[in-house]
Amino acid sequence: MSASRGRGRPRDPQTDTAILEAALELFVERGVEGISIEQVAKRAGVGKPTVYRRWSTKEDLIAQAIEQWVAAEVTPSAADVYALPLRDIVEGVLPAAAETAASPAFRALVARIMGSAVSHPSLMAVYWRHYIVPRRQLAAAMLQRAQADGTLAPDTDLDVLIDMMAGAVTYRVLQPDPPDAAGMLRYLTAVYRQAGLYPPAHDSP
């Protein structure tokens, strides 16, 4: 499969980056079924063997491209959620979340990942592990804080409530006529308020 395997030449990180970027672009444009390793190689400006030397299937390649794209530390840390009033935490988190949720690139990627959830579950799995799980942990910390503060019922099913919050956003993002960043900020505020995470000032205890 690879003429140069074993030559001992070190892998070029720039080549890896070019391949991963090309794979993500094509995945977003055409879906898993619409692309081939050959097309990825062409767009990255490398030969097919160069791609196959690194990834044996297009699914593996797309999974790593997704992992790389979504890998960024989630802030605040769960511990920091207890350092400030919850309202400040929420107000600190929402603008960046709204910016991301309203961006066309995020929308297009989420659509494709959801779209391959049944046919190529490894893509959803990598997105789930690297993007969703850290954010669910942050949401859980905020909700537990709200329970500790007495603003959220102690018997709330947090997993279900987190699904409702995250699900609403995903769902809104993929609806016809998605909001821009300002509209998404209003939307997220309404979702957090409905979840009991962001009471209007006059409802605060």
Task: Report the site for its own copies in 1-30 (rule: CB under 8 A).
Answer: 29-30
Nearer to its own copies, 74 or 166 (CB): 166
Nearer to its own copies, 82 or 171 (CB): 171
User: What angle in degrees, to the nearest 10, is found between the helix axes of 158-174 and 181-194?
Assistant: 160
Q: How far is the CB of 29 from its own copies (least distance, A)?
A: 7
Q: Which two tokens stand for residue 57?
A: 């299937």
Residue 187 as a binder of its own copies (CB under 8 A): the answer is yes
Residue with tokens 């505020």: 189
Residue 179 as a binder of its own copies (CB under 8 A): the answer is no
Residue 57 as a binder of its own copies (CB under 8 A): the answer is no
Residues with Cβ within 8 Å of 184's Cβ and at least 6 positions away in sequence, in order, are: 98, 99, 101, 102, 172, 178
The size of the interface with its own copies (CB under 8 A), counted in residues, is 44
Residue 140 as a binder of its own copies (CB under 8 A): the answer is no
Residue 138 as a binder of its own copies (CB under 8 A): the answer is no
For residue 44, give the nearest of 67, 91, 74, 12 by alpha carbon: 12
Residue 204 as a binder of its own copies (CB under 8 A): the answer is no
- Eight-state DSSP code of residue 11: P
